[in-house]
Chains A and B, each alone.
Chain A
Amino acid sequence: MVIQLQHVYKQFHKKEVIHDVSLTVNEGEIFGMLGPSGAGKTTIVKMIAGIDTATKGEIHVLGVRMPNLQTMARIGFMAQSDALYGELTALENLDFFASIYGLKGKKKKQRIDEVLELVNLTDDRKKAIHQFSGGMKRRLSLAASLLHEPEVLILDEPTVGIDPLLRQAIWEELERIRQKGTTIVVTTHVMDEAEKCMRLAMIRNGQLIAIGSPEQLKKQTNALTLEQAFLQFGGVQS
């Protein structure tokens, strides 16, 4: 397994936001975290990415206890906000993040070209970001998190506020990235997106209420949809 959480707790100002979450993510899978906003999905993925630290419990990524700077170099993280520099062009943004990841010279140029190609922004690379549409920014943000060929890719709500066509394109991209051997963790609150994940963790009020493939989760609750399954699991818990 690539990611392992063992009895993880997180407190913010004495308020417990994550309560005893344990889960594992296997190599080469798209692992989804489903839950309403405010459930604690972002906190969990930030702890996995090494930005945040757990108050209690252990998180291991690629066999290393997090947070760890060396391991963070092997993780790609795309936050909810696009996190790009508006004054700079797409190329300059990618150039900056590539340098931060320590890419140099030919290798850097090659990787920038590759990720631009992947998110279909090659023709717009010399445009400043403030001229980009919301969808283009999301794609560039995704490209920036792929520059250093991460073994683990963590995406926090990658398709929020994006039209269905683009959403589908992003999922196709994720599938291509996965096939190259990258493990992907993605958070979402959209049920039909959750269906596309190979395995799924349902999060509610900072707690893990269920884990399994979408099919398993539906079967366990005799539900037709994931939404019904989520309600079932949530009901049992509270």
Chain B
Amino acid sequence: MRIQAIVVRIIRQFFRDKRTLALMIVAPMFVLFLMDLVFNGETYEPHMAIDSNVPQQLVDALKEADAHVATMTKTKAMDKLDEQQIDAFIEMDKATLRLTLEGSDPSVSKQVLMTVQKAAQSLMPPMKQTLTIDTVYMYGSEHMALFDNFGPVLIGFFIFFFVFLIAGVSFLRERTSGTLERLLATPLKRWEIVIGYVIGFGIFTTIQASLISWFAIHVLNMMMEGSFGYVLLITFLLAMTALTLGTLLSAFANNELQMIQFIPLVVVPQVFFSGLFNLDTMEPWLRSIGVAMPLYYGADALREIMIRGKGWEAISFDVYVLVGFSLLFMVLNVLALKKYRKL
């Protein structure tokens, strides 16, 4: 079969070009390792929900300590907490202040704890002496490192980035070396070329995604609450999206350098919307740009699985969107090849 011929050829080329193979697998691991070593915190004004039994004196103190405070019932607060709309819920149990943290983002948790402690310090006696704080984590724990929160996004990002680049450049080389023209002089159909690339690269991206996920979770001990199978599914889909987008955009580049120019235009903006940085301070209309970015969905799903231990229900939408992106890019690819042969 002709598609099979393309697949076999891609596999052979990969094994001849060991450096590219290494770039695809070792480089992301290396960068993840560095990030693991380097990362530090940031400041953030936490959003808290407060039970009506919390004394006004404490509410004022929290506001004084730069917290956004809203009063609501416990059930409603727990829902909002689960949806990550708020960071913490505060209720009073006699003289004990019970603090429930969402917990996914350790920098946010830390900020909440600091704010609450600062507020408690500023209280008037006798409350200052009698108040004790009891902290509960909804997800994560006090041992969770900042890297655990970034980790899932980084796994997604590096897979996306390297697959995008390598797939794009390979397809570009097919064009600049004239082999694409040779293929198009044969009865090979345009969609067969696209499917051949998807399968051929798909094999390597599966290996890549598995190794990187394994490395991050088992060697770097990244937090992992959910199932490894789901992580593989999401990383594979992200890689497929990157592959199809890379080959598509390579049609609009004339050489390798122009392919690299797509990185700041296409790849880097996705990082900003993927949840690596807190977007709560951004204008809502700007924030909504994220919905057009594959990494936004991949990162969301990976966080749901790895930090919050969620299953299919929480990630199904992300999965459908990623599959949709891949299919869309594949169709566009077949159409873009029309530029080189009408038939």
Using CB atoms and an 8 Å cutoff, list the residues of chain A in contact with chain B.
Answer: 49-53, 67-70, 72-73, 75, 77, 79-88, 92, 96-97, 99-102, 128, 144
Contact = CB atoms under 8 A, between A and B. Distances in A.
A101 B185 CA distance: 10
Contacts of B188: 100
Contact of A73 (B1, B187, B341): B187
B143 interface: no
Contacts of B13: 85, 87-88
A100 to B, nearest CB: 5
B187 A96 contact: no
Q: Which of A79, A85, A102 has the most CB of B within 10 A?
A: A85
A96 B193 CA distance: 13
Given A69-B343, A83-B179, A102 B16 contact: no
A144 B186 CA distance: 11
Contacts, number: 84
B9 interface: yes
A85 B343 contact: no
A51 B178 contact: no
Q: Is the interface of A mostly helix, strand, loop or mixed?
A: loop
A83 B2 contact: no
Interface string B300-343: 00000000000000000000000000000000000000001111
B343 A87 contact: no
B3 to A, nearest CB: 10
Contact of A92 (B4, B9, B343): B9
Contacts of A83: 177-179, 181-182
Nearest to B182: A83
B23 to A, nearest CB: 15
B178 A69 contact: no
Nearest to A154: B185
A81 B343 CA distance: 22
B42 interface: no
A81 B341 contact: no
A102 B2 contact: yes
Given A51-B181, A96-B9, A88 B186 contact: no
Nearest to B181: A79
A52 to B, nearest CB: 8
B8 to A, nearest CB: 7
A99 B12 contact: no
5 contacts: A53-B342, A53-B343, A75-B185, A83-B182, A99-B4
A73 B178 contact: no
A68 B188 CA distance: 11
A86 B187 contact: no
Contacts of B35: none
B266 interface: no
Closest 6 A/B residue pairs (Cβ): A99-B5, A81-B178, A83-B178, A87-B16, A77-B185, A83-B182
B178 A96 contact: no
Contact of A85 (B9, B185, B342): B9
B179 A51 contact: no
